[in-house]
A and B are shown apart, each in its own frame.
Chain A
Amino acid sequence: MTREEIKQKITDILTQDFGVPEERVTDDATFRGSFALDSLDIVDFILLLQKDFGFKAPSESYQDVQNVATLVDFVAGKLASEAA
């Protein structure tokens, strides 16, 4: 899966499940600041992310995820390691 495809899938989750306007989903957008997700939203978001991409990761492994771009990196890394 390419980075663009990963980002589109993330965008779909944010728009369809959390009502985030698509134009706000930019690389440097942050989940709390830009999308106004609170901590419990983020728990749901992580569960949906893992469900849609088909991997599992403990919550603390997301601690370096700061914005959309770093989340795309994180997902790409997980998918690569799952495939290996």
Chain B
Amino acid sequence: MSSTQHPDLDRFAELEDRAGEGGGAQLQRRQKRLGRMLARERIAALVDEGSFQELGKLRRSDPEDPALGDGVVTGVGNIAGRPVAVYAHDATVLRGALGIGGARKIVRLLDHARRQRMPVVAIHDSDGVRVNEGPEAIAGFAEVLGRTAELSGWVPQVGVVLGLCVGGAAYSSALQDVVIGQRETGFLFVTGSKVAKITTGQDAPIEDIGGVEMHARTTGLVHLAADGELECLAHARAVLGYFPRSAAELVADLPCTDAADRETPAIAGVLPDSDRKGYDMRRILTEVVDAGSFLELQAAYAPSLVVGLARLAGRAIGIVASQPSYNAGCLDVDSSRKGARFVQLCSAYGLPVITFCDVPGFLPGKRQEQGGLLLHGAKLIAAYAACRTPRVSLIVRKSYGGGNVLAYPADVRLAYPFARVQPMGMDAARAVASHRTFGADDGSDPEDELRRRLGDRYDAMERAAEAGVVDAVIHPARTRIELVRALESLDRLPMRDLPPRAHPNIPM
């Protein structure tokens, strides 16, 4: 039977074409002129060529709706040969607003992703809920948000924010594991009604309320900000390359052309002469991990702590690292939250965590204390303690006081010979000792007295090694070799006696 002989075949071909028109030619033109691709173009750019199978293309919950598909494109494609569930709001249909029909499509896709153990990529471009659909639409979005939250920890979820993203769509992003945003055209707001004030200038500028750059710097909601849509979608592909299909599996090693036994002599040149000088920890990280594999997340947010994905001898890992070039690497409210959520992410999806530590402690002061430093610092402690994947730490230069929350909770603790582990730095110890013990003016030199009491080894690494606080002292030039060796000694399967999901990766 030829396709032209049966009227139903022609009719469905026409319906398929109509569905592809979304909200119509004028709105598709506007979308393109705004520098935004159409929903199906975005998906095509995301997945392996020709791999996308659209599901629910002809769905239409409202017979009066001229557009087919209920404003969202859903389906399954491959990224690097692995299946991925994808949905993309179609901004040409009621600006991507979600009604009950679109919500049901997404929920069905998320259920499919859970059963089939495949990651989810959501391409957000939606101004929230279809107000005209009333309570049913609200219920629909609630279902989407609930399913997104329930799916957390089962399969990796990546959100890509390419347009206005309001209300429920914005909360969907906040629930996902990694969020990528387009700097110029991506916006995330809680409520659409606020936008009226924003655009009339009666409130803060729109960029300050919900711009991608703001979220990348201030809230940390956006993990990666990029200038173009294609760049954002490429980031999504790259991010998923570090994760398994689901929490029930391990991410496969990649063939590694960077020798596992490569020495790292350049690290010595990164470290400054003076202990008081900062340096960019990323120079050490990129020296250690497989060449070109380090992908930093939330780079502009809470910069005193670096987090990112990488590969070490082909194995996917998560990295947490102090950043001495910003506030001397002090932990604070934001960096504690950042580190905690990242460790939780690694734990949820089987990535070992390697922590590079050069931290003088938590940032002191009223602002930090009133901002909940204890609460957020505790999240970091809890996240490391609950981490079910291998943890390796390396003290690069110092681990003082409460900052030891980074280095101590590890299965293998390494340190450089010149690194120091103490309740506080030498200067602070002198001040405290001077105040508490030598307060009386008896003419003695507090420092001399302190050295007499504590000995010259107050700061020496030998004490930490003797005390078992450090498991091995390594030469900087052998950093990569020793970290590879440490990881190889640890069980790849995280907490085998637990079910595949340890916990959801909820926002913290």
Residues of A within 8 A of B (CB): 16-19, 38-40, 42-44, 46-48, 51, 58-60, 62-63
Contact = CB atoms under 8 A, between A and B. Distances in A.
Contacts of B200: 39, 63
Given A47-B185, A60-B201, 6 more contacts: A39-B196, A39-B198, A39-B200, A40-B166, A42-B199, A59-B207
Interface of B: 26, 29-30, 33-35, 95, 127, 164, 166, 184-185, 187, 192, 195-196, 198-202, 204-207
Contacts of B206: 43, 59
Given A40-B164, A47-B185, A48-B33, A59 B199 contact: yes
A60 B95 CA distance: 23
A43 B195 CA distance: 9
Lowest 7 A-B CB distances belong to which pairs?
A63-B201, A39-B196, A17-B30, A39-B195, A59-B206, A60-B205, A39-B199
B33 A51 contact: yes
Among the interface residues A16, A46, A48, A60, which one has the most CB atoms of the partner chain B within 10 A?
A: A60
Contacts of A18: 30
A16 B195 contact: no
Contacts of A39: 192, 195-196, 198-200
A59 B201 contact: yes
A40 B127 contact: yes
Contacts of A59: 198-199, 201, 205-207
A60 B205 CA distance: 5
Contacts of A51: 33-35
A40 B95 contact: yes
Nearest to A44: B34
A53 to B, nearest CB: 13
A47 B34 contact: yes
A42 B29 CA distance: 16
B192 A17 contact: no
17 contacts: A16-B26, A17-B33, A19-B26, A40-B166, A40-B192, A40-B195, A43-B187, A47-B185, A48-B33, A48-B34, A51-B34, A51-B35, A58-B207, A59-B206, A59-B207, A62-B199, A63-B201
Contacts of B192: 39-40
A63 B196 CA distance: 12
A59 B196 CA distance: 12
Contacts of B185: 47
B201 A62 contact: yes
Among the interface residues B164, B187, B195, B200, which one has the most CB atoms of the partner chain A within 10 A?
A: B200
Contacts of B29: 16-17
A51 B202 CA distance: 24
Contact of B205 (A19, A40, A48, A58): A58
A16 to B, nearest CB: 7
A51 B34 CA distance: 8
Contacts of A58: 205, 207
Contacts of A16: 26, 29
Nearest to B166: A40
Contacts of A40: 95, 127, 164, 166, 192, 195
A44 B198 CA distance: 13
Nearest to A56: B184
